Structure 1
Amino acid sequence: MELSVELSFYPLQDDYKGPILALIDELGQEGELAVVPNRMSTQLFGEYDRVMAALSRLMKRSFEAYGTAVFVAKFINSDRRPRD
């Protein structure tokens, strides 16, 4: 099953941009995922189990590295990637 996720990450610290950019970079290194960042959120597309495993790993790593943070996500069970 394909999955589309719109993800927003809010590290609760003064220097919030660095952690956000680091998370987007880490998501981009997940070879099986399509990652589309924009100014308000980051969209992820891929096979359900791969997307969820990547989110679990990266959320845990972010909490450990940056402390308190908020993740907001919307999920849809299809590939909603924009097509040209």
Structure 2
Amino acid sequence: MKISIELSLYPLAEEQYKTEIWAFIKRLRAVEGLQVVTNGMSTQVFGDYDLAVNHVMAAIKHVHQNTGAAVFVCKFINGDRSQVEAES
């Protein structure tokens, strides 16, 4: 089964918030089997359900363990919506 996940990360740190966001994205891009697409508002992750959910949750946990406070806004959509997004 496939899944599409859209995430927005909002570190509540005054400094180096861009560094934290890019580190989060790079962590996800390093996972073989995931397609990771970014834009100015969010990061989209497409792939096998278990692979994507497990790695996204691990990346979220890493941020929470290693930064001050951070807010995530997430959407989990059943199916691979990467082609639908590209056609829009």
Mind listing any 5+ residue stretches in structure 2 that lack a counterpart? none
Alignment length (residue pairs): 84
What is the TM-score when the length of structure 1 is the normalising length? 0.93
What is the TM-score when the length of structure 2 is the normalising length? 0.89
Runs of 4+ with deviation above 3 angstroms: none
Q: Tell me which residue corresponds to 1:56.
A: 57
Question: How many Å apart are 1:67 and its aligned residue?
Answer: 2.1
SS at match of 1:26: helix
Q: Tell me which residue corresponds to 1:35.
A: 36
- 1:54 and 1:78 mapped to 2: Cα distance? 17
- 2:55 and 2:68 mapped to 1: Cα distance? 19
- 2:76 and 2:35 mapped to 1: Cα distance? 15
SS at match of 2:82: coil
Identity of aligned residues (%): 45
Q: 1:60-82 CA distances to partner (integer Å, 9 max, x unpaired)?
A: 11111112110111111010103
Report the AA paired with residue 22 of structure 2.
Answer: L
- Structure that is richer in helix per residue: 2
Question: How many Å apart are 1:48 and its aligned residue?
Answer: 0.6
Q: Tell me which residue corresponds to 2:66.
A: 65
Q: Tell me which residue corresponds to 2:23.
A: 22
Q: Tell me which residue corresponds to 2:2.
A: 2
The RMSD of aligned alpha carbons is: 1.2
